[in-house]
Amino acid sequence: MAEERAARRDAVGELGEALRELVGAAVRTEVPIERLAEATRAARELTALLSDDLREVHEIAAVDDPETGERWYSPVYGPGSPVAPPMVVEDFPAEGRCVGHVTVGKQHEGPPGLVHGGVTATLLDHVLARSARAAGHGGLTATLTVTYRRPVHLGVPLVVTGQLVSVEGRRATATARLVAEDDPETTLAEGEALLIALRAERASEVFARTGRAVGAWTSKT
């Protein structure tokens, strides 16, 4: 079973990378209209190829691990997601900290040449929650405050750091900071979040349709 999932993860990751290349080309192309029509036909053929066996929207993918929070189609870091930047994150559980590295492309553009503000918030939200989860405090975001300090440019390697600040029962607070890799002293955006772990019975209700145990967002006490 483990070998089968590993093999599928490899295949899902390769497809995700190819699709991200496709999405990147699609939002930057200036090819003639005839070529656009040809690409449209090819894209619909690919959709048909992948649609022979689809899971329901509430079902968890075979490559995922809901107990640890591994999501292979996450729109932030998922190797299989065609819309993820994707961000590569390293966890430091003992410190309640995680560090993400990402370069955001044209598909996530807001103002010309700049990362969409909602995407910046999404990157911060992810490391906020993940810093807590890495330290063993799962939870859903209850409040999120984002402060935009400076414009975030496309195509620039970024570093996004999340830090668990405090834990009180099922409530945890965390902070996050986004900088350019080549200018770590200049803050581009900051985030602060209140994260609340679900009680086991509430988690069973919220995630009932998945038919799976979902431990990553559940209180451990």
**Would you state the structure tokens that stand for residue 73, as one six-digit string?**
């189609």
Name which residue leads in pLDDT, 110 or 209: 110
Q: How many CB atoms lie within 10 A of CB 184?
A: 11
| Domains contained in the chain, CATH given | 1-221 (3.10.129.10)
- C-alpha neighbours within 13 Å on the C-beta side of residue 154: 13
Res 208: pLDDT: 83
Q: Which of the two residues, 25 and 66, has the higher pLDDT score?
A: 25
Does the pLDDT at position 176 exceed 60?
Answer: yes
Q: How confident is the model at residue 144 (pLDDT cuts 50, 70, 90)?
A: very high
* pLDDT above 70 for 165: yes
For the cut 80, the answer to whether the pLDDT of residue 219 exceeds it is: no
Which helix (H) or strand (E) segment holds residue 176: the answer is strand 171-180
Look at 35 and 67; give whichever has higher pLDDT: 35
* Averaged pLDDT for residues 194-207: 88
Within 10 Å of residue 159's Cβ, how many Cβ atoms? 17
Please give the pLDDT value at position 4. Answer: 92
Q: How confident is the model at residue 220 (pLDDT cuts 50, 70, 90)?
A: low
Q: Percent of the chain, pLDDT > 70?
A: 99
pLDDT at 51 over 90: yes
Place of tokens 């075979």: 62
Specify the pTM.
0.93
